[in-house]
Amino acid sequence: MARNHGRENQKGVSEMKIKFPPEAVVGILAAIGVIMVFYYISLFPICSIESDPKARASAFEACMKLLPQGPTTTTYNDWDDVVYECGRQASINTERKICK
């Protein structure tokens, strides 16, 4: 008679089946989902758009130098619109994207 050393009821590793309750499976899948979301978010750098103040001032001055002599009399102050537009264009043209 072969000796099994008390292994007649033992199963091999490939025959073992672990049964999880449904709540545990849902919890494990939720945890994996949360980890995947954080991993996906971490792939994207944090960026901001900033304007270099020195470059902006230089661009503004260059714009103002290109303008002809301003009006001496107007019905309203349309020169403010011109100065505003120079400032706006200076800001737009000196923007740069900075990622951390």
pLDDT at residue number 50: 83
Higher pLDDT, 84 or 74: 84
For residue range 40-78, list pLDDT tens digits in order: 887 887 888 888 888 889 988 998 888 877 767 766 667
Question: Could you give the residue ranges of the DSSP H alpha helices within 1-100?
Answer: 22-42, 53-66, 79-93
pLDDT at residue number 83: 85
**Are 42 and 50 in contact, with CB atoms under 8 Å apart?**
no
For residue range 1-44, list pLDDT tens digits in order: 555 555 555 555 566 676 767 777 888 889 999 999 888 887 88
Strands 47-51 and 95-99 come out as antiparallel
pTM to 2 decimal places: 0.44
